[in-house]
Amino acid sequence: MDQLSAMRAFVRVVEMGNFTRAAEALSLPKATVTNLIQGLEAHLHTKLLNRTTRRVMVTTDGALYYERATQIISQLDELDTSLSNSHLSPSGRLRVEMAGAFADWIVIPALHDFHARFPDIRVDLGVGDRPVDYLAENVDCALRGGIPSDQSLIARRVSEVSMITCASPGYLEKNGTPLHPSELEKRHHCVSYFMAQNNRTMTFDFERAGEKLEINARYVVSVNDSRSYMAATLNGLGVSPVPYFMATDALEKGDLIRVLPEWRTEPIPLYIVYPPNRHLSNKVRVFVDWLVRLVADKQLSRTPEHDSR
């Protein structure tokens, strides 16, 4: 029995939740994966997995074996990579996730530069704000705004996104200009953002000279995608704190007007996240390094005050 192959197959079955997806991820026939697991269980004289027609569940012994096996595989992969691939150009498919705003405004316009540097890497870019199952979907890394809610993820803070409160000229002409954040709860509307994980709308936090307010804004529409959030604001559906990097062009053209300029909105921290127990291959490392430099060059934390100096 090839114990290392069996160990890899077992780890992937646990991570993917069933034999079919694990076989696809390993590019092996399902029967081969099944035989590897059965051989491993026979070798260890213990049952690692309980199988039903619908799902695979890890036994107590299987959970202990999985924890140690992932450590061993990670160390072997790191050793192999450092010795055999250090002189090679990174290659292969890279699975990345990020919100549409980051993809459209930041990454895709610069992706030709990454391709020129690393022509053998193919990027599978998942775009959207939806929750992602990193292990089941085989995601290598993601660029995310906000503190990751999944504490099992490995998160690296790389920047923050400054916010600016805006409305369209049409909205302000019809409804007037708010002079205090409390008006967003009483006589004005906002475009709101709801989190798909719990279906709750986000509150808006404002600060001025040490005074902090948490606003549960009235809204006509609430969305869960950053591009749609901006589109709704541009189309006069409410007052909105929006990322400044997304609003810059619209402000210059007069399609958006800044409101409540004396009130600061808390910036959004920006993270690169990785799934747990996932070795960072050369292709992931070079992409993350490139992405960190790109985010720094875009100066996402800049504010209108910086630009006016």
Q: Mean pLDDT across the chain, nearest whole number?
A: 88
Q: Are residues 212 and 63 in the same domain?
A: no
* Distance from C-alpha of 301 to C-alpha of 99, rounded to nearest angstrom: 17
Q: How far is CA 13 from its chain centroid?
A: 24
Strand 190-195 to 219-223 pairing = parallel
* Distance from C-alpha of 103 to C-alpha of 107, rounded to nearest angstrom: 5
pLDDT at 240 over 90: yes
The residue from 84, 106, 125 where one domain ends is 84
- Start-to-end CA distance of the chain, whole Å, equals 69
* Distance from C-alpha of 96 to C-alpha of 273, rounded to nearest angstrom: 10
Residue 71 belongs to some domain of the structure: yes
Are 240 and 190 in contact by the 8 Å Cβ rule? The answer is: yes
* Distance from C-alpha of 66 to C-alpha of 53, rounded to nearest angstrom: 22
Where does the pLDDT of residue 95 fall: very low under 50, low under 70, confident under 90, or very high at 90 and above?
A: very high
Q: Angle at the Cα of 101 (from 255 to 228), degrees rounded to 5? A: 60
Phi, psi (5° rounding) for residue 200? -100, 145
Q: Give residue for tokens 């589109």.
A: 231
CATH no. for residue 74? 1.10.10.10
Joined together, the tokens standing for residue 209 give: 């000279």
pLDDT at 22 over 70: yes
pLDDT tens, position by position, 30-81: 999 999 999 999 999 999 998 876 778 889 898 899 988 888 887 787 666 6
* Distance from C-alpha of 251 to C-alpha of 287, rounded to nearest angstrom: 32
pLDDT at 276 over 80: no
Are 256 and 166 in contact by the 8 Å Cβ rule? The answer is: yes
Pick from 15, 134, 107, 141: nearest CA to 67:
15
Q: Are residues 217 and 185 in the same domain?
A: yes
pLDDT tens, position by position, 163-200: 999 999 999 999 999 999 999 998 999 999 987 777 78
The residue from 35, 66, 84 where one domain ends is 84
Q: Are residues 282 and 133 in the same domain?
A: yes
Q: Are residues 8 and 74 in the same domain?
A: yes
Domain that holds residue 53: 3-84
pLDDT tens, position by position, 101-125: 999 999 999 999 999 999 999 999 9
Q: Are residues 20 and 52 in the same domain?
A: yes
Count of domains forming the chain: 3
Residue 254 belongs to some domain of the structure: no
Joined together, the tokens standing for residue 168 give: 């369209």
* Per-residue pLDDT, 18: 84
Residue 252 belongs to some domain of the structure: no
Cβ neighbour number for residue 233 with a 10 Å cutoff: 25
